[in-house]
Structure 1
């Protein structure tokens, strides 16, 4: 009855609530455990997150390919829920087997009693930069995961099957690209990799979406290009957020920056792009990403002055 959708919504809200805490926690943990490879291990967290999305989209694609619509509604969706539930239980078991990082244990006596207040009072500029650095990631991912499949089918009139298959190609491409960029971030400053991604989006978003809107590029190539470029910012932002804050407030600083960016950029992206589609036409996603890339680039330019906390932690450790 009516309690089924109510319960589903409540559980989805709970899932989002806990993810908002677990993602910053995971980033903090791996960076403090392996500061000498902080960019790569931070990227691995995002790679696993992105791979989870890819697994979900592939599961949906497989169910719709093997079952007819009536069977998907009748019982097929339960297969996906059971599969996801089993993965969730496994991840919970892994989570409970972890201990605090050695760096946090070393500074346990110096931890902040009111970390969020400390972050807001002492590291306000770092939070602002972190929101900009993560904001370009949230906007780009919201386009890739939410907006573009609908854009291709309703605005450019591609078939839903092609849009879905192309999206999987884009997510897989991003997973590979972000892992490569995270690896590269251990060899050159990650802020330069992030900055390169922001510059490419700034210069290329509008002409790229003009080409897409004119059917000058097929959906598979479209998603592959978006996934590849998105890897530059997705593969480095975890390290860059961790690098903005010292150990005693790192988790709170990452959590505040990341979740403010999620609220400000993820939720509004579909609404803003939809409104722009009515106002300026099919090039709307390109205009939106140009503006967001501007914000990400400005935030990225402040990272050298505001960051450096992970390197100092590694030197003192």
Structure 2
């Protein structure tokens, strides 16, 4: 099948309202997840005081990864719910669950105050956020892609642009808090500020989502009462290929998430410098994602993704080697800019491709499963794996090893998507 529809309807005002509604809610969902990763250094000291900085950090990153075990379950439950009850219903439910998890983290006493209960409750909150996020990607992507089918790539790419906004917002908080607050203030209350910010936006996003119209494609299609069973019965090959395609996108995303910790711990750079460099990555992703989505409508999704994957495969090790040899703000800025462009070139075309791999009746279930299985296995524990690789190999360029592996996996999957499924 071709990934490029023959007709290109003119976008309607309703489609742009959908972009705003899906993007603000999706940005909030991912903001809460990204903030945890960005402030891992502080959280490790407050909730996992193991007496060893490395052990504390691994426990913190492990807790970040544990929440991803819930993502496949969230994908199954919320994805199937979206295919039965509609995209709007699933989007509204997912943001409510995320707000509850965020509230728990924002007000949770530290280990010093309540002992072992603190990290245990933190894990519960992260599991709740993971379940919510498990249904967000598929529901938001289907919601965007189904409003203007002739321009799926462009409209679905706003899902990635909203994640760029997430990175940008989280990095802004990182810069402001690390430059304006003392370490004691940061540990006492500063790290909680971004989580409370998320709680303030949550009701607005919920209100907007409850007043959305359902997508025209979903309303026109026949629904099924067994979307999960149908996906495994008739779309197993598509599911496997989709999982493979997601691998590079998720590893690249969570490598970006780990970069502030990497810059502070491995390069010895100031926290404010590390977060400032991440600002550039978020801005690139936010601005360039719709451009990549538009190009994928014109020239094909897999072509653009393969070019980005090959460039990442070839350039990432030399880039990290150069960064380790020249650990300055300027070098970090250049590396982050190049990495941001290549990551966006791959990731922004991904939602459009995934939305076309599955029919309307099982679209959210299929996309949610594919995305979250890949994210759970390869992305959620990405920061943990990267930190372990650095310790095991003794090489500060070790993060590139994991990305090279991911690029190889996804290139094979993209070739299968072209050869077996006929995408271009």
Q: What's the CA shift for 1:118?
A: 1.3
Structure 2 residue matching 1:186: 3-state secondary structure: helix
SS of 1:281's equivalent in the other structure is coil
Task: Tell me the equivalent position of 2:207.
Answer: 93
The answer to which of 178-187 and 128-137 deviates more is 178-187
2:342 pairs with 1:220:
no
Match of 1:206 in 2: 317
Work out whether 1:193 is the aligned partner of 2:275: no
Structure 1 CA distance, aligned partners of 2:238 and 2:297? 22
Check the 8 A contact 1:177/1:227 in 2, yes or no. Answer: no
Instruction: Give the deviation of 1:211 after TM superposition.
Output: 1.8
Q: Deviations over 1:36-65 (max 9, x none)?
A: 111011111111122123212212321232
Give the secondary-structure state (helix, strand or coil) at the position aligned to 1:33.
coil
Distance 1:8 1:58 in 2: 24
* SS of structure 1 residue aligned to 2:299: coil
Partners of 2:173 and 2:389 lie apart in 1 by 32
Give the corresponding residue for 1:291. 405
Where structure 1 has 5 or more consecutive residues not aligned to the other structure, the ranges are: 312-317
Unaligned residue ranges in structure 2 (runs of 5+): 1-112
The answer on whether the counterparts of 1:194 and 1:232 sit within 8 Å (CA) in structure 2 is yes
Structure 2 residue 174 is matched with structure 1 residue 60: yes
Distance (Å, rounded) in 2 between the aligned partners of 1:104 and 1:151: 43
Task: Report what 1:276 is aligned to.
Answer: 389
1:238 aligned to 2:379? no
- 1:63 & 1:106 partners in 2: Cα distance? 49
Q: What TM-score, normalized by structure 2, do the two folds share?
A: 0.67
User: For residues 188-237 of structure 1, what are the alpha-carbon distances to aligned partners after superposition, in whole Å with 9 as ceiling and x for unaligned?
Assistant: 10111111111111222222222222228711111111111111111111
Contact 2:227/2:365 (8 A) holds in 1? yes
Partner of 1:35: 149
Offset from partner CA, 1:237-288 (integer Å, 9 cap, x none): 1111111101111010001001101111112322332333222612212222
Cα RMSD for the two superposed structures: 2.2
Partner of 2:257: 145
Could you state the TM-score of these two structures normalised by the residue count of structure 1? 0.89
Aligned pairs for 1:162-181 (under 5 A) are 162-181=273-292
Q: Secondary structure at the residue paired with 2:298?
A: coil
| d(CA) in 1 for partners of 2:231, 2:224 | 10
**2-side partners of 1:106 and 1:184: how far apart?**
28
Distance 1:305 1:31, change over 3 A: farther
* 1:114 match: 226
